[in-house]
Amino acid sequence: MHNAAKTADELVGLVKAYNPKTNEKMIRAAYDFGRKMHEGQFRHSGEPYFSHPIEVAAILAEQQLDDATIVTALLHDTIEDTRASYSDIEREFGSEVAELVDGVTKLTNLQLNSSETKQAENFRKLFMAMSKDMRVILVKLADRLHNMRTIKAMRPEKQGKKSRETMEIFAPLAGRMGMQWMREELEDLAFKVLNPEGRASIMRRFITLQRETGDVIQKITGDMRLELDKAGIQAEVFGRAKKPYSIWRKMQEKELSFNRLSDIYGFRIITDSEQDCYLALGAIHGRWRAVPGRFKDYISQPKTNGYRSIHTTVSGRDGKRVEVQIRTRQMHDVAETGVAAHWSYRDGVRSENPFAVDPARWIAQLSEQFDAEEDHEDFLEAVKLEMYADQVFCFTPKGDVVKLPRGATPIDFAYAIHTRIGNSCVGAKIDGMRVPLWTRVKNGQSIEVIRAQGQTPQATWLDIAVTGKAKSAIRRSLREVDRARFVKLGQELARSAFAQVGKRATEKALRTAAKNMRLSGADDLLARLGSSELTGREIVQSVYPDLAPKQGEQIDAKRAVVGLEPGQSFDRAPCCNPLPGERIVGITYRGKGVTVHAIDCARLSEYEDQPDRWLDLRWHEGNHPAVYDATLDLTIGNGAGVLGRICTLIGEASANISDLEFLERKPDFYRVLIYVALRDVAHLHSLMSTLEADSDVAAISRYRDESVPRPAEKSA
């Protein structure tokens, strides 16, 4: 599996083997383009960098994927790490490939293991990228797999970080998508880094076991083939030892020693038809004793990612338990490649696999419940549960199937049907028997929810529920019940927090804080403050951020832009006055250097027919001096000392006022333009946020004067 292609011929050969109609020219062009772009770049191991995209493309070719995915793999690091741009790739390879490469680049930039709130936000972006085109995540998973296979070349702390991220995010994601082989290999590679002693001890015990019992796999495979032949069933039988990490996890979960652990070996029977699956099951159970409670029929009840198979555990030779999975060839393709089966080719044609779940539908289902979450932590909890959870299938009294994660309770069942049913639940019956609400539900049980008028969720339910949907609905309901009490307490806490920095917790200031913290309003903010979900410091900081200049070396304003020719000078366009941190573009003038515009400047339309004058520029990242002018358009109350207070606030925010211009003077308000010198766009937003919180500021916006005449052309 690991001897991947090194040359363009070998890669094309790999693809042609399953897709003779492949666009060979495009794959070769992508190979040459990628090699040229990555020229002179090397990996930590010292190999040329381009060896990595080739290996990623080969991993995807092993999954028999379409040309666009293979080409994306070859180009997946070009936008991020080379001089190639989105438009270069679109021009050479079309918009489908450019979109995919751009999607992979954005995923690479996500910090998935950062702080909780940021992590939830990034998970949301991850799911958005997946819902646009699932192939983006297939390339990302193959990219991660190759990085994990070659992780030894990285620095030790980087190895640990990558391995934890793999274990927490990418391995469960591969599992959720039905790509079991990918999940197992990712887990095992991460396990090797995170717990080398644990893995080595399992490998040692395996060798001892093999010495004592001989080749168990071969013996049992032979016995199974014999039984199937006797029953006249056409089928293939495969046996294998489970991966070290999978064994380790079972030992931890069940608190068993290695010797007492069952399921060290797994066997697969691949049949020609669904009917043969059930005949094979009969043959196996006829010869070996089935272990009670270990039988699952995912053929009649498929998992949400399309997985179908019959699972049973039987007592084999010497009372050793072995796990058996029985499925057809098509079911097997989905079990191995999961949603990737949607893009696979078989025998040279794009195969329509009836068992492959439509990826768009799968991800839409997954995203639906998360979109309803207003709370970042709830969202994150729901995502992680959805990815890690094994499923159990329960029935309503009418016989409808409800899928829940393993360990779910009747409360989760009630909320899975409808929030209203969950909120009014007072008890439950399982298979007709009244049970406590903390009972864990099992596969195939029928559950009836007992409801009562006027019932509301209890705080203890949070410890009982396991699904993200139930937990967030309970929290929401508890917040409503205690809301009035929390709002009142929040008002006191806010007053005290603002007083500590010499400010008042006005309605306006609280509304601004709520807006900056993406909450629905001042009451929501106060309720969260009163219930300790937010601190007073966080709220004050969102309105009056600490704007003291950062320590460290400042960037010279003359050299603040990256992408200019040596010796080329630049001016900021007076029509849009771009600030460091904003996306920018340069327009060249003969004899005048370059004028830098904000990417959304209306003036740029005047140069649309002169593409050779456009320059791709960006600001230097880092600490800029407060010398970049911007104009604020303020409508303020006409009262004693108001303008003076506004000027003081601007001074406190480390921004210098260079000019003031009155546009309108009315008996009740002034409209005034204030010209300020700032560090960057973050400084601008912080200053506007501070001013907006003042109760005498009726309106505030950034002012841009697009009537400024454009610079006259000079002859060279």
CB 647 within 8 A of CB 657: yes
∠ Cα 451 454 456 (to 5°): 80
The pair of structure tokens assigned to 510 is 């609280």
Measure the CA–CA gap between 562 and 254, rounded to whole angstroms. Answer: 57
694 to each of 196, 544, 546, 646, 698, how far by Cα in Å? 58, 11, 17, 8, 9
36 to each of 57, 97, 180, 240, how far by Cα in Å? 17, 18, 35, 42
For residue 224, which amino acid is it?
A: M
Measure the CA–CA gap between 63 and 57, rounded to whole angstroms. Answer: 10
The pair of structure tokens assigned to 422 is 């969950």
CB 101 within 8 A of CB 78: yes
Measure the CA–CA gap between 395 and 434, rounded to whole angstroms. Answer: 16
3-state class percentages of the chain: helix first, strand second, coil last, to nearest 5:
50, 15, 30
β partners of residue 268: 238, 325
CB 102 within 8 A of CB 79: yes
Q: Which of 10, 24, 62, 80 is catalytic?
A: 80
102 catalytic? Reply is no
Closest CA to 163 of 181, 178, 185, 180: 185
CB 617 within 8 A of CB 562: yes
80 catalytic? Reply is yes
Measure the CA–CA gap between 635 and 261, rounded to whole angstroms. Answer: 74
∠ Cα 27 33 39 (to 5°): 130
- In this structure, the strands spanning 425-430 and 433-435 are antiparallel
Backbone torsions φ then ψ of 86, nearest 5 degrees: -55, -45
Residues 6+ apart with CB under 8 A from 221: 237, 238, 239, 267
Closest CA to 517 of 507, 506, 528: 528
Closest CA to 179 of 170, 168, 167: 170
Active site residues: 80-81
